Amino acid sequence: MRLHNISINNLRRRKGKAIFLIIGLLIGVTTVVTLITLTRAMEEDIGKKLDELGANIIIIPRSHDLALNYGGLQFSGVALDVKPLHQSDLSKIRSIKNNENLSIVAPKLITSAKINGNEALLVGANFREELRLKKWWKVLTPDSERKSISDRRGSDGMKHVQSPQGTSAYLLRNSLTEKDLLVGSAAAHHLNLHEGTSVDIQGQTFQVRGILEETGSQDDALIFADLSKVQRTLGKEGQLSLIEVAALCNSCPIDEIVKQISEVLPGAKVTAIKQAVESRMETLRHFKRFSVGISAVVLLIGSLIVFTTMMASVNERTREIGIFRAMGFRKGHITQVILLEAFLIGLLAGAMGYLAGVGSSRLALPFFLQVQESKIGWDLVMALSAVGISVALGLTASIYPALRAARMDPAESLRAI
Amino acid sequence: MGLIEFKAVSKYYESAGERVAALKDLNLNIEAGEFIAVMGPSGSGKSTLLNILGGLSHPSVGEIRVDGIDIYRLKGEKLADYRREYIGFVFQSFHLIPYLTILENVMLPLAIIPCRNGDRREMAVQVLEKVRLAEKSRRLPNQLSGGEQERVAIARALVNNPPIILADEPTGNLDSATGKEIMGLLSELNSEGQTVIMVTHNPENARFAHRIVQLKDGEVQE
């Protein structure tokens, strides 16, 4: 028989009250664990998706452009002293300190070329990198191609908004050869190109592997071909017009990466598409702030439940406390008994709350993210923090009730009915 | 010098703005090994006397010396220590802790003294044997009769072997046969050397005492 036996037995034999106290804290801990786990999973998922969604750094040759107004005519972009980018710059980019954060490096050579006798914009690109960068690209299937064209003007003469369902161009990444072309929708329409059409570019024969679904961007007007093939065909070996870089920016310092690339490529202009990255992160930040707010409120309510229940319990046990005091228990002993109960309640609620939190976030995750498999694992640090917070709140909420119990006048307490 | 000395002790209460005296200028000497019955009508100050002696309620005036110690001059939590070392309380309504077994109830005063848990158990079993309840030690208080509960209360008061037993109407909630049994037990303890101070209404019980202190309106009627 020690002091802790009093606490344990009281909880064991007054189960109703103990369960009520545990539930009070449990709801709080479960909510916090759920929100944190969900936020983390979403952060990871969004971060991953967004990082792969497109470039966030663009590298172009540095040129000293002058706008020239000559005889009332506007000449813009009179390029002086242009240092073109070179194939060898790619390995320089890969050599920066934050290389690990570089997810995709997609070089491009943009040039005009005679295609079937018509002038068009040709882009030499590394298909593998390009398709990873532009995961939203869809290739029209022959079926949807027809539909897309017929949809442009329906029988009522109105433009239909129904979008054709193409297949993801990403699926082609391993099967594209250097003779293949991917053609933007506007270019295909303009040059009357279809999947399978053979195309002559500067005397070389290429084949259209796919027509890209309309994206609404500059890509619609472009024809994409293999980079080295384009370089060779047009006699521009090693030359690049621009390099798009996607950095994994969930945690990386984008400004730092821009600085590092600028250092290794002094002749290039490195620009971060900062806004896009920042707005991605901002959304997450809002959700986090919201989570913190909700967590704080729920924990506060949990603590209040513990506080009021403990106060009621202390009042109910007034006579019991009087008996303890009459037996020679010091004030400290009484405080110990009450706080030990709070500690045990906190411990149980914390452990159960963690389990419940992980369980409920696993259940809730599919509603937040379109993922089938659950990626939420067990996390010891989180489990310990959950128990720690629960115990701390349980104890904090019980300090006043415990002190009140200890300060009760023993003679008065014994008279209580 | 006796074991217990009350020197000009008075206790006043505030009631509806008026000062009411529960004890007036009480002088009393109790020797070690005495069995005292404190008698008197309701409100005569019997319980106040017991509470003051038990270290539960400060007197308004005067001093109480127990074993030479001026107990209300003890600092901090020393008064709690005094209760633990010198006093065993036996209450009228038993005051057992409902969620602890009989054995645990008896071991309760030992929970705060440094000793091995096995020793605590042994001491508790010994006193339970003395009150003939050892075989019911695993039960909860509500599974015992009134007389048995009072015996548990006595065992609990005895377990750390205090020199003074304070009993407040120990038979008040019991039938007369059980009451006699309890009085016999207290008398037995007294004969073994414990000083017993008992508050009672019952003249039958008072016959077990060596001396009767009659109180009226807070004053001793010799």
Q: pLDDT digits over B31-48, tens only? A: 999 999 999 988 888 989
A4 interfacial to chain B (CB closer than 8 Å): no
- Which residues between 301 and 320 in chain A have a beta carbon less than 8 angstroms from any beta carbon of chain B? 319-320
CA distance B40 to chain A (A): 19
CA distance A398 to chain B (A): 21
Q: Do A93 and A102 touch, CB atoms closer than 8 A?
A: yes
| pLDDT value for A249 | 60
Q: Which residues of B touch A (CB under 8 A)?
A: 51, 54, 56-57, 77, 80-85, 87, 89, 91, 95, 97-100, 103-104, 107-112, 117, 120-121, 124, 156
| pLDDT value for A406 | 94
A410 interfacial to chain B (CB closer than 8 Å): yes
CA distance B112 to chain A (A): 7
Tell me which residue in A1, A13, A323 faces B111 most closely, judged by beta carbons. A1
CA distance B58 to chain A (A): 10
Contact A327 B83 (CB under 8 A): yes
| pLDDT value for A382 | 92
Residue numbers in chain A where pLDDT is lower than 50: 148-163
CA distance A212 to A187: 10
What is the ipTM, given to two decimal places? 0.93
Q: pLDDT tens for residues A319-360?
A: 999 999 999 999 999 999 999 999 999 999 999 999 999 999
Contact A332 B104 (CB under 8 A): no
CA distance A131 to B208: 104
| pLDDT value for B123 | 92
Mutation for A interface: B51, B91, B99, B100, most A CBs within 10 A: B99
Q: Do A346 and A303 touch, CB atoms closer than 8 A?
A: no
- Distances from the Cα of B133 to the Cα of A177, B147, B161, B172, angstroms: 96, 11, 18, 21
For residues B68-94, give the mean pLDDT: 91
| pLDDT value for A100 | 79
* Of residues A331, A2, A413, A414, the one with CA closest to residue B153: A414
Non-local (6+) Cβ contacts of A415 within 8 A are: A322
